[in-house]
Amino acid sequence: MSVDFDIIIVGSGPAGISAAFPLVESGLNVLMVDGGKQSIVPLLENDYLSTRTSDSEQWKWMIGEDFHALKMRDALSPKLRVPAQAYSFAEFNSRNNIESTSYISVGSLATGGLSNSWGCGVAKYSAAEIKQFPFPHSDIELSYANVSLRIGISGKANDDMSEYFGLDDYAQSPINMDISHSYLSRNYSKRKKKLNAQGFKMGLSRVAALSKDIANRKACNLSGNCLWGCKRQSLYSSADELPNLRIHKNFREHSGFIVENLDKKEGYWQVKGQDITDNSYKTYTAKKVVMAAGTLATTRIVLQTLKFTNSVPLYSSPSAAFLLWLPRFLGLKRQSGFGLGQLSYALNIDDSITAFGSTFATTGIPLSEFARYVPFRRPYGIELLRTLLSSCVAGNLFLPGNLTNAEAQLTSKNSLKVLGHYSDKVKPLMNQAQKKIRKTYARLGAILLPRTFMIGQPGGDIHYVGTLPMKNLPSIGETSSTGEVKGLDGIYVVDGACLPFLTEKSHTLTIMANADRIGKYISKNVYLHK
């Protein structure tokens, strides 16, 4: 039997791209396949505020020619309502045969995966946190550095969050904060000794967004277009790294190919799926397969290949969002600025639970997104926000993933059924967090607006991990320390499915570093050549 490739990588998101670089650079013959969906909504040419003032056809990118924003009015995240990002989430569940009950299941068939629409938050797991993994911290440390330098991270600062993030050795200088965040930062500096003693630390956000140019990607120009798509490519998307892989003759891609199942024949793996451009079916053959289709899609394909119908665990972070009002800036004219996290915090809720979150400018987010949280009828809420919003910042909060009780299971029809709920501990913890957020930010000159602390639904954080966890001695339904699926020799999992542990921190950088680590392992330790 002839073999088409040494390696097939399923998925072009952050995990797939991070695994691809060491594999391609080692000389292996690599094929990358993905769902291939692309945006058809043009990105904004000018800054958000100018475009809102001057663009007579702004409804096309705010609401969508198919009224996408109105169809998605019940979605929790504003990202799901942005027409320019609709492609990123479209058809994921239906194409991947994923069903969910009491749990939000989200994924992407887009080139670049969910990195087209993420918040760009990055953090490194500490040595103590990596102890939950079946390999030493030293095995992933170089990969953290390689990935961080490759994708571009900003926010370097000698502040109270430096150790928490652990990224300043690789980071660019910070992107400029707006006036509201500068005010909060100054007030924190004056009061941090007392706040630290109460379990609260604050510092600059570390984000995968550029403050300095890297190759064809340009530094952030404070346009406020972060939610709507960055034409300068300042925000990291793995799709922007594909040109650097395409220069290698041993790299090929098939975009618009959705994998349905895997099968082994005569010692080689067959990757079978459908080309969505013409609905034809095709099979590619490889010696090894790297699964990076996103936690839920990867889980379904692997469990189907194993014929494993037991339930598997699924971790995600309980989350909340809130709105802070800074009375000092009432009446401030709305200003363009960076639309993602500007300041981040770590909050000890009790002796064993730490929450993490960031605060954001409200510029670049429509008034309607906030009106649903104001305790007035919608017209009055919008009128109130016209006055208040320029003096507000939005915030989020995440708890560790072991506080979500969820599971996934392959059905008799080879679909993946996902169901789950929060632990009984979550509501009391969120209540404590809300009280501490209110008291802490009041000392910094910000008021937590009544009824704006909203707890998200299970799965709404989209931080899915742990369905095929890495273990030192894996059982069926688990993976080895190098991501190889027990019972499926030559199938490696590199996305969130293989992470055995989820902290409250942003987890994407750890997924990427682990994928880089596994890619290097495969290229150096697994015999693939003639």
Contact criterion met (CB below 8 Å) for 79 and 86: no
pLDDT, the chain, mean:
93
The 10s digit of each residue's pLDDT in 437-449 is 999 999 999 999 9
- Which string of DSSP letters, residue by residue, matches 240-276? GGHHHHHTSTTEEEEETEEEEEEEEETTEEEEEEEET
Evaluate if residue 529 carries a pLDDT over 60. no
Task: Summarize the confidence of residues 359-381 as an average pLDDT.
Answer: 75
Output the pLDDT for position 383: 73
Output the pLDDT for position 380: 66
- Which string of DSSP letters, residue by residue, matches 363-432? TTS-HHHHHTTSSS-HHHHHHHHHHHGGGEEEEEEE--GGGEEEEEEE-TTSPEEEEEEE-TTHHHHHHH
- Other CB atoms within 10 Å distance of the CB of residue 120: 23
Evaluate if residue 426 carries a pLDDT over 50. yes
Evaluate if residue 530 carries a pLDDT over 50. no
Direct distance between the N- and C-terminal alpha carbons of the chain, in angstroms, rounded to an integer = 14
Evaluate if residue 53 carries a pLDDT over 60. yes
Task: Summarize the confidence of residues 182-187 as an average pLDDT.
Answer: 98
Evaluate if residue 69 carries a pLDDT over 90. no
Evaluate if residue 483 carries a pLDDT over 70. yes
Which of 35-44, 93-102, 457-466, 499-508 has the lowest average pLDDT? 35-44
How does residue 76 score in pLDDT terms, banded at 50, 70 and 90? Answer: low
Which of 64-68, 104-108, 247-251 has the lowest average pLDDT? 64-68
Output the pLDDT for position 85: 86
Output the pLDDT for position 497: 98
- The percent of residues in the chain predicted with pLDDT above 70, rounded, is 95
Higher model confidence: residue 387 or residue 211? 211
Output the pLDDT for position 373: 66
Output the pLDDT for position 462: 93
What are the residue boundaries of the structural domains of the chain, listed by start? 1-37+90-151+236-315+464-530, 157-234+317-403+420-461
Evaluate if residue 71 carries a pLDDT over 90. no
- Other CB atoms within 10 Å distance of the CB of residue 353: 17
How does residue 75 score in pLDDT terms, banded at 50, 70 and 90? Answer: low
Tell which residue, 400, 388, 241, 398, has the closest CA to residue 328: 388
Evaluate if residue 74 carries a pLDDT over 60. no
Strands 404-410 and 312-314 come out as antiparallel
Which of 276-285, 500-509, 521-530 has the lowest average pLDDT? 521-530
Q: What is the CA radius of gyration of the chain?
A: 23
How does residue 404 score in pLDDT terms, banded at 50, 70 and 90? Answer: very high
pTM score of the predicted model = 0.96
- Asked: is 1-37+90-151+236-315+464-530 a CATH 3.50.50.60 domain? The reply is yes
Output the pLDDT for position 388: 85
Which of 214-218, 246-250, 364-368, 455-459 has the lowest average pLDDT? 364-368
Task: Summarize the confidence of residues 288-294 as an average pLDDT.
Answer: 98
User: What is the SS3 assignment for 485-525?
Assistant: ECCCCCEEECCHHHCCCCCCCCCHHHHHHHHHHHHHHHHHH
Evaluate if residue 377 carries a pLDDT over 80. no
- The percent of residues in the chain predicted with pLDDT above 90, rounded, is 80
Evaluate if residue 104 carries a pLDDT over 80. yes
Strands 447-448 and 312-314 come out as unpaired
Evaluate if residue 374 carries a pLDDT over 90. no
Evaluate if residue 515 carries a pLDDT over 60. yes
Output the pLDDT for position 328: 96
Output the pLDDT for position 41: 83
